[in-house]
Amino acid sequence: MRHASDIALIAVDVQPDFMPGGALACHEGDAVVAPIAALLAARRYRTVVATQDWHPPGHASFASSHPDRAPFETIELHGAPQVLWPDHCIQGSAGAQLDPRIDWSPADLILRKGSDPQVDSYSGFRENHGPGGARPSTGLAGWLRERGIAEVHVCGLARDYCVLWTAQDAAAAGFRARVLWPLTRPVTPEGDVPTRAALAAAGIAIDGD
């Protein structure tokens, strides 16, 4: 059954570097591949967006860019907390490609994010805090509105970071938002409780409960 034409699917960062064995493996990250592939193949959504982490080498969010810092430590960057990550999703690398086990041809837009060397980007809608504290728009909200979209369903990786921030920013931009929980996985399962609380606080529905 197709969804209403004003509902879009956003598949967040389904990339090899977030799969088991990847540079920044999510817990059971590969479990989302088959169901997302099936969802796209069924063409239930008239509008499909895929986001793609796309970092230049030496990105400011990489622990390797900060002497004496280790992956998963948190620093302050541009006045906001920033987790330092292992080098991942380097532009043009195999780990940065959209997962080849999925046929991405139904995607209407592939939105690359995180390409500013000094600013991280979890959300598909806005960059993280940059110089001056602003969170620049990616333009996704306007693109969706021009297509008549009122509601977004979010799946992909990782549910406690990029999925969460994308859903929160969608709600803040005025879209109804729903997270397809079984089609997401976290960096670590310990993030699930605060993630659920943050989604509930933003009025975001959770499928799969």
User: Catalytic residue numbers?
Assistant: 13, 113, 162
Which helix (H) or strand (E) segment holds residue 141: the answer is helix 140-146
Cβ pair 13, 158 in contact under 8 A? yes
Exposed/middle/buried for residue 39 (C-beta within 10 Å: 0-12, 13-18, 19+): buried
Query: Rounded distance, CA 80 to CA 69, Å?
Result: 17
Angle between helical axes of 162-172 and 192-201 (0-180°, round to 10): 10
Query: Rounded distance, CA 60 to CA 100, Å?
Result: 28
Strand partners, 55: 90
Cα of first residue to Cα of last residue in the chain, in angstroms, is 21
